[in-house]
Structure 1
Amino acid sequence: MEIRRFVDTDWHGEQAGLWDTWHEVVTAGESYDNDPASTEQDARAHWLLPPPFEVWVAAEDGDVLGTYKVGPNKGRLGDHVANASFMVSSRARGRGLGRTLGEHCLDRARELGYTAMQFNAVVSTNTVALRLWRSLGFIIVGTIPDGFRSTKHGLVDFHIMYRQL
């Protein structure tokens, strides 16, 4: 498995690309608040943000199995705190790819000079993500009651998670 900066050919990939992973995760309606009917153009606009954001992919034999993006959480006076988003394809779940991407992202955020990282909206029913982020040193610093409309569970909470770097 190779983790590297996104290049445009990763969007569709040799076998499966970032678009396939993005579409799969968002249409599930369990971890991202994007419209499950989002178009490919919507997805590109949401995920492929301009610098200072960076997009990274985990690829294996031309197949994009996971991705993350990292950049400032807020504007100029809050840009020392990073924000990141992650997606892992169902084809790679259970292989430790989320942890590998999380660790890589934390290292990259440090290299970029961030002093902390904040996740603005971790869905409370996404227990795999919550367990992973806690194991990597994140704590819940706030909860938005009923902030997410899960396709399986109805109204559930969003957690704001934070850790110093």
Structure 2
Amino acid sequence: MTIEIRRAAPADLDGMWAAFQPLLEGGDAFPFGPAFEKTTFQLHWFSNHPAYVACDGESIVGMYKMGANYPDHGAHVASATYAVAKQAQGRGIGRLLVEHSLAQARREGFLAMQFNYVVGSNAAAMALYRKLGFNIAGTLPQAFRHRELGLVDAYVLHRFLEKE
């Protein structure tokens, strides 16, 4: 597997949307529902923080965006959002994306990484984040309406970034 991770460009929008849209139908990992529109997706992924794409040849198989969790007094803590295309899941792409974002956050001078909303029933994501040193900093009780499980907890995860 040769996966290239690079900064997303406006020309990547269609490929990113094609990878992301099927993930909404699952109703098990993202707070966005099936009515989430491409224009909203574009604003979400191309406005405040830089986006990166993971490419397997010409195909976009994953993406993340990363930047300061909050401005000013909270700007030393990064936050990120990740997505791996359904057909590419289970190939280690999520791990590559998270590791890339952690290295990028270090390069940019962030001291920690925080995820504000990780669905507790997303076992693969939770296991990956734990392996990569994230800890649960808080629980949001019944904060996510899972398509099959009903109301499930979401978590705030955190880890400090060591120097490279």
| Pair 1:156 & 2:157 matched | no
Q: Which runs of 4+ in 1 moved over 4 A?
A: none
Equivalents in 2 of 1:45, 1:27: separation in Å? 20
Return 5+ residue gaps in structure 2 as ranges.
none
State the TM-score, normalized to the length of structure 2.
0.94
Equivalent residue for 1:107, pick from 99, 103, 125 = 103
Amino acid at match of 2:19: T
Query: Structure 1 length as normaliser, TM-score?
Result: 0.93
CA contact (8 A) 1:69 1:84 kept: yes
Partner SS state of residue 113, structure 1: coil
SS at match of 1:119: strand
Q: Does 1:5 align with 2:7?
A: yes
Equivalent AA in structure 2 for residue 5 of structure 1: R
Give the distance between the partners of 2:109 and 2:23, measured in 1 at CA: 30
State yes or no: 1:146 paired with 2:142: yes
Structure 2 residue aligned with 1:76: 72
1:86 to 79, 82, 86: 82
Q: Does 1:129 align with 2:139?
A: no
**Separation (CA, whole Å) in 2 of partners of 1:69 and 1:23:** 16
- Any idea what the Cα deviations from partners look like across 1:136-156, whole Å, max 9, x if unmatched? 000001101100001121100
Please tell me whether the aligned partners of residues 27 and 37 of structure 1 are also in contact (alpha carbons under 8 angstroms). Answer: no
Q: Pick which of 81-90 and 37-46 moved more.
A: 37-46
Counting only pairs closer than 5 Å after superposition, residues 20-35 of structure 1 correspond to structure 2 as 20-35=18-33
SS of the residue 2:52 aligns to: strand
Contact 1:117 / 1:164 at 8 angstroms: preserved in 2?
Answer: yes
What letter matches 2:9 in structure 1? V
Cα distance in 2 between the residues matched to 1:48 and 1:157: 28
Partner Cα distance (2:47, 2:72) in 1: 17
SS of 2:127's partner is helix
